[in-house]
Structures are given as structure tokens and as C-alpha cells.
Structure 1
């Protein structure tokens, strides 16, 4: 018997799932509070955490990401545009959707980053989201991840 086909991830999309031992409300707060956001990704930034609100954050070295919040549905879902002020992925040109589901152990985080322009940008963003959701997981579970070892790496 042939197993059922699973839908393929589009070539312009990064998907990631993470299990976090913290309630969805706790995890969600790391996406809607400036200091908490910067505790896992970035060194400084401005954020207007409301639908249509903008953000601009220095993620690594001189690399600044910016975009707008599209959907904020606490503590379940957050959607925002993403891109770099300089680089191959233009500011606000892609879309990141974060979904949080309660589990017996805490939360299942599901991230979909779509609209990336090249396979290289998909690969770079997959590596970056892996790195930053690792840091987010530690923070949400109550462990400080320490200084980001990537502060001076350029981001494509």
C-alpha cells in the first residue's frame, strides 16, 4: 500500500515547528513585548504591536529587518511582513506566520515564512529561524540564552 502524499512546501517557504515547555500566553508575549522580543532576537528596535503597526529591528550587526504586523490574535496567532532594509529580501516583502497551539507539555509553535525570493534566501532564513527559535525556546522556558553569538554576521 502506498502512503498518502503529503503536500510539498513551496520553494519560497521555510517551515519550522518547535515544542516549548511554556504556556501559549507566555510564548506569545515574546512576540508582542519589545524587551522580550529583543531578549531572543535583535539588539534594538521599535515596534508598534497592533495590526497595521510597523517594526524595525537591528537583528545582527548592521542588518535591520522591518515590516508590518498584519494579524495579532493573542495567544494563538501572529502574522507580520519581513525583510531587510538592505539585501536580497526587501523590507516587508515576505510574510511570517506564527501559530501557537497548547499541548500537554506547553506549546507547539509552528512558523511559516513565505515569499522568499531565492533558494539561497530560503536556506539562510531557515538557519536563522532555527537559531532564533532555539533562543526563544530557552527564554520562554525561563533560561537566559546569553549574548547572541551572531551579532556581527551578515544576513542575506
Structure 2
């Protein structure tokens, strides 16, 4: 018998965001990008520990420079898969450090809908600890999703 899935209680953290983007990549390529190939577009190569199954935990790092004058820093990301619907939906918890969710367990939901030759992607991230964290993620996700589309477009 599988362990029950524990959904985070986000009631005390009401800061959420939604990003919509038309993607040139197929739903299949984007689903694989989130569940099997996150190191092709987001995570530092060699840092990914991920098994795309509900209730499985994952870890990866990103390497990012916040401004021209700072050194690149490693940023760990942790989470677990809550729901997976092949080529349609990925829902996971998402925890990062001081420059991200400030250690709060947020929930990222990625919905993929076929749209012409590409995909309409909806990303919802819920449970930020404060407005600052939400605003920073709201600014970053469009660039991250653009990179996802550029890297996965030619794969499938």
C-alpha cells in the first residue's frame, strides 16, 4: 500500500502567482522537461535526483548570478510530486532558500493544453511566505519558461 499524499497547508501563506505562456514545444516535450529532463533547461547538470512518481522526492540545484557584480551561486531546490497526469499536468511541492521561497513549501502546478502546433502552459505557484518572494518568482518564471521552450522545442 502506498503512503498517503500529504498536501501542504497553505492557509497561512496566501501569496500566489499565475503565469500563462504559449509555448512552441509539444505537451509531451514539456512534460518530459518537468519530470525527466529538468537538467536540460533549468537544473545544473549532474545535480538532479528525481524520480517522476507521485509522492517521490526530488532535489536539484540551479546556478545563478543575481547581478553583474556578484559571483554565481548554487541554489538548492527540493520537493515531491503531488500529481502527475501524462503530458497534461505536473504538480509538485517546491522549496528553495533565502532568494526563493525562503524555505517555505510552496506548490507549483503546471497545466499543459495542446494549442495549435504547440502548448498553452499555465503555471500556478501557491503558498509564498510573503509578497517579496511572490514578486521575485513572478518576475523570474517568464524567463525560466522561455528557456524551457527554447531548450525542449527541438527534442520531440
Above 0.5 in TM-score? yes
Give me the CA root mean square deviation. 1.9
> Are the aligned partners of 1:56 and 1:66 in contact in 2 as well (CA < 8 Å)?
yes
SS of the residue 2:84 aligns to: strand
Aligned residues: 131
TM-score normalised by length of structure 1:
0.77
TM-score normalised by length of structure 2:
0.77
Does structure 1 residue 46 correspond to structure 2 residue 49?
A: yes
Distance 1:89 1:95 in 2: 10
* Residue in structure 2 matching 1:100, options 112, 116, 139: 112
Which deviations, in whole Å up to 9, do the C-alpha atoms of 1:73-117 show, x marking residues without a partner? Answer: 111001000111x32725561000000001113110100000011
Distance 1:76 1:123 in 2: 26
Does structure 1 residue 12 correspond to structure 2 residue 24?
A: no
Task: From the two aligned structures, give the one with the greater strand fraction.
Answer: 2
* Residue in structure 2 matching 1:78, options 90, 109, 112: 90
For structure 1, the 5+ residue unaligned runs are 1-9, 144-156
SS of the residue 1:142 aligns to: coil
Moved over 3 A (4+): none
Query: Which residue in the other structure is 2:69 paired with?
Result: none
For structure 2, the 5+ residue unaligned runs are 1-12, 64-72
